[in-house]
Amino acid sequence: MNPHNDKIEYLLRLADSALIQGQRLCEWCGRAPALEEELALMNVGLDLVGQARNWYEYAAQLLDDGRDADHLAFRRDERAFRNLLLVEQPNGDFAVTMTKQFLYDAWHFHVLRQLSDSSDARIAAIAAKALKEVTYHLRRSGEWVERLGDGTEESHARMLAAIPQVWRFTVEMTNADEVEQRLFAEGVAPNPEELAAAWRAKVADIFASATLPLPEPAVNFYLSGRRGLHTEHLGILLAEMQFLQRAYPDATW
């Protein structure tokens, strides 16, 4: 039994969520509403992919079973992925994409801020570096939520339609499980209660500025990214994302 099981599990959650969110953003390539937005979306996506690599490399080191970061990203099956359910949801229109991005960024920012003080020096270093990027991500997505929510009648209506599509998947951001509780007790992971409170406060603040109603807290349901129980959308995403590695395993360029 690997003595680092909890830590590996947590690292995969961070890596998988960043990778899948990055993949979703890169799906906007050639489809964004403006050239400047296409560049911004791609840059945020690439930031997240880079962060995912850092988490995967540490997880691979702790696993010590011959797998590397590329194997963890491209050769695991859907049930082995531990990403947040939120990030695997389809992009929808620009309102859905920015709502998803903001809800993820608000969680991601506070996770990284607390992880920067982790008792694990490598986790703290990766988090501190990523926090600089995610601070910008959060500012940008929050501004878009405000702009769309408090903008035109059309943009406001689209935001009102977007929020219910993704809100129920935020339950994983505020409800910690045993792995996170144990890692918090060891000083490795964030304080779950503080993290949930900080996320709720940020979302409430931006939604108020955007003249958008704040839904009631999401509740648990039968799916769980932590347990590999995903929506149907992840399998489709992985089939595209992993095709080349699976078709030509161990290829070199």
Residue 130 lies in a domain: yes
Residue 176 lies in a domain: yes
Contact yes or no for 141/102 (Cβ under 8 A): yes
- Cα pseudo-dihedral 117, 145, 86, 231, rounded to 10: -170
Residue 252 lies in a domain: no
Q: pLDDT, tens digit, for every residue of 114-149? A: 999 999 999 999 999 999 999 999 999 999 999 999
Q: pLDDT, tens digit, for every residue of 176-190? A: 999 999 999 999 999
CATH number at residue 24: 1.20.1260.10
Is residue 35 scored above 90 in pLDDT? no
Cβ contacts of 214 within 8 Å, gap of 6 or more: 203, 204, 207, 208
pTM, entire model: 0.96
pLDDT given at position 1: 64
When the pLDDT of each residue in the chain is averaged and rounded to a whole number, the result is: 96
Q: pLDDT, tens digit, for every residue of 213-238? A: 999 999 999 999 999 999 999 999 99
Tell me how far apart the alpha carbons of residues 103 and 203 are, in angstroms, rounded to a whole number: 7
Is residue 91 scored above 80 in pLDDT? yes
Residue 72 lies in a domain: yes
Residue 192 lies in a domain: yes
Structural domain range at position 105: 5-247
pLDDT given at position 30: 87
Residue 191 lies in a domain: yes
Residue 182 lies in a domain: yes
Tell me how far apart the alpha carbons of residues 235 and 94 are, in angstroms, rounded to a whole number: 23
> Which two three-digit tokens encode residue 163?
């929020």
Residue 220 lies in a domain: yes
Contact yes or no for 22/101 (Cβ under 8 A): no
| Domain count of the fold of the chain | 1
Work out the pLDDT band at 155, boundaries 50, 70, 90.
very high
Which residues make beta-bridge pairs with 224?
229
Mean pLDDT in residue range 61-79:
96
Tell me how far apart the alpha carbons of residues 242 and 78 are, in angstroms, rounded to a whole number: 11
